[in-house]
């Protein structure tokens, strides 16, 4: 390590560490922070001296330097290009994160989203000038309603988690409308995505967990025992986060409706069932659909995502503003209770404008280029690929549940028992082999989970390479190579970071190092 805490050595093929003079690793450059590259006086632009020093901000005088580093243009270009190359992406390789559906984003979608008629419009433009965009939102809404069998959809939520918020706010409003504001308990199965209980709590509900059975599904008897007059509803993920279809889902809907509650389904995993199952037929009242998963719009790195929420007859009137209506004079937006066509029960507005237009364009391009039969095939291939991974690994890794899976294959850490290798070590070793790790330690219902979602856009050849590496690593773990695993990753610019500390105590601002004299005190 040099004095800035950076590693200056790389391991040789035999695992020994050989230093480089520069600290760089092959053509991976050891990049200093942009602030550390500050060269006062350097600049990328050549502006003439201002003709006057007259202040144009009234009496407001700058209190000091604003603290931007001085840099020439080539330095800036190289810095950001190098940073961009450190970013892993679905365009670089397999991204097997379970519960994330990291599938290929077709370039056709990107082309369509860049058409100036979609890319260059403004949400405050007069509605008569954006009829095409409104028609597109309406057409996409139509597809989402058809695919789910639902009568209404809220298009504005900006992500899956915000979709959950939208659905639970609709449920909250519906209960208040019924004069049943005392219903404040939401049942959340243990296999739920972490966002589910967080959302219910944010809307003011209390969370009551339902245990899972030994086969990874909701325990029906436990669910029945928890029903009561204060139950607002259930939040169920289907396919659930174990990658399994909830077989008793219709019975669950009957039970929850019988108790006077609503059925919220986390539909982020719609990829596995799109075109094959209509959530309305399962008795669901509200469900978000992550366009950035099932319908291949880009995600990760901060979005933007898009999480429209479909609503059943029972909840349709509570859809938030704005929503698109089709009248004799074309399309228009219903923006508030005063607008003709408002239901009068909308729970309010969730987001500044109408949703993520660029994502709508991409999702519709994806849907239209696949067609109804193509979407059916998407679900089939997603499930086939996950089962292929499961079938080829089940003799060396330990699947958590028997039988075929849906779109993701769940393993636990029993195959590592007694090897001294943990799920974390195993995942880190994958990085040295050129693969992004799977989701780890989630879902919580199994020990040391490894959740792999290959998606339908990976080829058999690509999956075989990944599987061969996993098989090789499992063999090495069994062969007693625990130390090598514990040292992984060896080939990355940084080794193991304290990700928990980084999340809990993020350092978001660069501070200059204290001058020597001060530091010595
Ligand atoms: C991804 C996901 C979410 C959250 O979606 P975001 O768009 O990341 O907010 C919720 N539930 C499940 C099951 C998911 O896979």
For residue 429, the domain's CATH number is: 3.90.1150.10
User: Can you tell me the distance from the alpha carbon of 53 to that of 62, in angstroms, rounded to the nearest whole number?
Assistant: 13
Q: What does the pLDDT look like over 12-22, one tens digit per residue?
A: 555 555 778 99
Average pLDDT over residues 144-173: 97
Query: Average pLDDT of the chain?
Result: 92
254 pLDDT more than 60: yes
Scanning the structure block, which residue is given the tokens 């030994």? 214
pTM > 0.85: yes or no: yes
**Ligand 1 proximity of 307 Cβ (cutoff 6 Å):** yes
Does residue 493 share a domain with residue 356? no
362 and 387 fall within a common domain: no
Cβ 269 under 6 angstroms from ligand 1:
yes
Distance 161 CA to ligand 1 centre (A): 6
- Residues 210-228: tens digit of each pLDDT: 999 999 999 999 999 999 9
pLDDT of residue 517: 56
**Average pLDDT for 452-468:** 98
Give the domain extent around 215: 108-366
In a domain, 511, yes or no: no
Same domain, 449 and 331: no
pLDDT tens by residue, 478-506 = 999 999 999 999 998 889 999 899 999 99
Residue 427: inside a domain, yes or no? yes
State the distance from the centre of ligand 1 to the C-alpha of 267, rounded, in angstroms.
8
How many Å apart are CA 334 and CA 154, to the nearest integer?
Answer: 12
345 in a structural domain: yes
The span from the CA of 356 to the CA of 178, in Å, is 32
Domain end among 340, 366, 392: 366
CB contact set of 411 (below 8 Å; sequence gap of 6+): 393, 397, 398, 399, 400, 449, 450, 451, 452
Q: Whose CA is nearest to atom 6 of ligand 1?
A: 160
Ligand 1 touching residue 454 (CB < 6 A): no
Return the ligand 1 atom nearest residue 164 CA. Answer: 10
443 close to ligand 1 (CB < 6 Angstrom): no
Count of domains in the chain? 2
159-177 mean pLDDT = 97
**Residues 199 and 272 reside in one and the same domain:** yes
Provide the pLDDT confidence category of residue 87 given band limits of 50, 70 and 90.
Answer: confident
Percent of the chain with pLDDT over 70: 95
pLDDT over 60 (residue 235)? yes
Return the pLDDT at 17: 59
Which of 209, 160, 137 lies closest to 364 in space, CA to CA?
Answer: 137
Q: Is the pLDDT of residue 392 over 60?
A: yes
Closest residue to atom 3 of ligand 1, CA basis:
160
Ligand 1 close to Cβ of residue 243 (< 6 A): no
Nearest CA, atom 8, ligand 1? 160
Q: Regarding predicted confidence, which is higher, 191 or 368?
A: 368
- Torsion 95-380-167-142 (CA) sign: positive
Q: What is the pLDDT of residues 29-84, one digit of tens each?
A: 888 999 999 999 999 888 888 888 788 888 888 888 888 999 999 999 999 999 98
Report the pLDDT value the prediction gives residue 304, as an integer from 0 to 100.
81
Per-residue pLDDT, 494: 87
User: Which residue has the CA at smallest separation from atom 5 of ligand 1?
Assistant: 160
Residues 349 and 496 in one domain: no
Which residues are within 8 A (CB) of 46 and not within 5 positions of it... i.e. 6 or more apart?
A: none
Residues 387 and 330 in one domain: no
* Res 400 pLDDT > 80: yes
315 and 201 belong to one structural domain? yes
pLDDT at position 53, please? 78
In a domain, 49, yes or no: no
| Structural contact between residues 268 and 288, judged by C-beta atoms closer than 8 angstroms | yes
Give the strand pairing for 286-288 and 17-19: unpaired
Distance 199 CA to ligand 1 centre (A): 11
Q: Quick check: 103 and 379 in contact, CB under 8 A?
A: no
477 Cβ inside 6 Å of ligand 1? no
Taking residues 79-101, report their average pLDDT: 92
Residue 82 backbone zone (phi > 0: left; psi -120 to 50: alpha; other: beta) = alpha
pLDDT tens digits along 256-305: 999 999 999 999 999 999 999 999 999 999 999 999 999 999 987 656 88
- Is the pLDDT at 3 greater than 80? The verdict is no
Per-residue confidence (pLDDT) for residue 520, from 0 to 100: 45
Give the Å distance between the CA of 510 and the centre of ligand 1.
31
My answer on whether 343 and 408 are in the same domain is no
H or E element in which residue 171 lies: helix 160-177
pLDDT above 50 (res 7): no
Is 82 domain-assigned? no
- Rounded to the nearest 10°, the torsion over CA 365, 367, 373, 377 is 100
Kindly tell me if the per-residue pLDDT of 516 is higher than 80.
Answer: no
- pLDDT greater than 70 at residue 6: no
Whether residues 469 and 344 share a domain: the answer is no
| Nearest atom, ligand 1, residue 307 CA | 7
3-state secondary structure 467-497: HHHHHHHHHHHHCCCHHHHHHCCCCCCCCCC
Which atom of ligand 1 is found nearest the CA of 162? 9
- The reply to whether ligand 1 has any atom less than 6 angstroms from the CB of 473 is no
Q: Is residue 361 part of a domain?
A: yes
11 in any annotated domain:
no
- Is the CB of 98 inside a 6 Å radius of any atom of ligand 1? no
Shared domain check, 202 and 240: yes
Shortest-distance atom of ligand 1 to CA 290: 7
Query: Do 337 and 468 reside in the same domain of the chain?
Result: no
CATH no. for residue 345? 3.40.640.10
User: Cα(51)–Cα(207) distance, rounded to whole angstroms?
Assistant: 65
Identify the band that residue 387 occupies on the pLDDT scale cut at 50, 70 and 90: very high
Compute, in angstroms, the gap from residue 232 CA to the centroid of ligand 1.
22
Percent of the chain past pLDDT 90, that is, above it, reads 79
| Residue 37 within any structural domain of the chain | no
Residues 324 and 421 in one domain: no
């Amino acid at each position: 390590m040099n004095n800035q805490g950076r590693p200056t050595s790389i391991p040789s093929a035999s695992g020994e560490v050989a230093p480089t003079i520069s600290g760089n690793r092959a053509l991976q450059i050891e990049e200093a922070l942009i602030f550390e590259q500050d060269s006062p006086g350097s600049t990328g632009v050549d502006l003439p001296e201002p003709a006057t020093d007259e202040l144009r901000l009234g009496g407001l005088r700058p209190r000091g330097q604003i603290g931007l580093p001085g840099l020439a243009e080539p330095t800036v270009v190289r810095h950001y290009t190098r940073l961009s190359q450190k970013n892993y992406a679905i365009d670089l390789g397999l991204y097997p994160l379970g519960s994330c559906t990291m599938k290929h984003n077709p370039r056709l979608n990107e082309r369509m989203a860049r058409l100036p008629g979609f890319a260059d419009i403004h949400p405050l433009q007069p509605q008569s000038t954006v009829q095409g965009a409104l028609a597109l939102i309406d057409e996409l809404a139509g597809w989402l309603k058809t695919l789910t069998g639902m009568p209404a959809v809220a298009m504005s939520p900006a992500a899956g988690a915000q979709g959950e918020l939208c659905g639970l706010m609709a449920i909250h409003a519906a209960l208040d409308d019924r004069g049943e504001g005392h219903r404040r308990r939401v049942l959340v199965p243990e296999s739920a995505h972490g966002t589910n209980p967080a959302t219910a709590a944010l809307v003011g509900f209390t969370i009551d967990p339902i245990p899972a059975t030994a086969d990874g599904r909701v325990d029906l008897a436990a669910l029945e025992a928890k029903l009561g007059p204060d139950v607002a509803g259930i939040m169920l993920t289907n396919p659930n986060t174990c990658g399994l279809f909830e077989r008793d889902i219709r019975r669950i809907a009957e039970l929850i409706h019988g108790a006077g509650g609503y059925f919220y389904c986390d539909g982020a995993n719609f990829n596995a069932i799109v075109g094959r199952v209509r959530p309305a037929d399962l008795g669901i009242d509200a469900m978000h659909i992550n366009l950035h998963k099932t319908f291949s719009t880009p995600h990760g790195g901060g979005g933007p995502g898009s999480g429209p929420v479909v609503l059943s007859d029972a909840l349709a009137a509570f859809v938030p503003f704005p929503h698109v209506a089709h009248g004799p004079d074309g399309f228009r937006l219903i923006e508030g209770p005063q607008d003709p066509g408002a239901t009068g029960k909308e729970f309010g507005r969730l987001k500044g404008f109408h949703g993520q237009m660029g994502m709508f364009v991409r999702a519709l391009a994806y849907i239209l280029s696949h067609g109804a039969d193509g979407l059916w095939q998407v679900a089939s291939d997603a499930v086939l690929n996950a089962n292929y991974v499961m079938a080829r690994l089940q003799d060396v890794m330990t699947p958590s549940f028997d039988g075929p899976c849906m779109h993701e294959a769940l393993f636990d850490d029993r195959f590592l028992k007694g090897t001294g290798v943990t799920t974390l070590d195993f995942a880190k070793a994958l990085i040295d082999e050129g693969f992004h790790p799977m989701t780890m330690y989630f879902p919580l219902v199994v020990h040391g989970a490894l959740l792999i979602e290959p998606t339908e856009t990976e080829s058999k050849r690509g999956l075989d390479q990944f599987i061969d590496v996993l098989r090789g690593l499992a063999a090495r773990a069994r062969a007693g190579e625990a130390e090598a695993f514990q040292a992984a990753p060896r080939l990355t610019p940084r080794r193991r970071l304290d990700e928990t500390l980084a999340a809990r105590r993020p350092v978001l601002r660069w501070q200059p190092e204290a001058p020597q004299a001060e530091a010595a005190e």
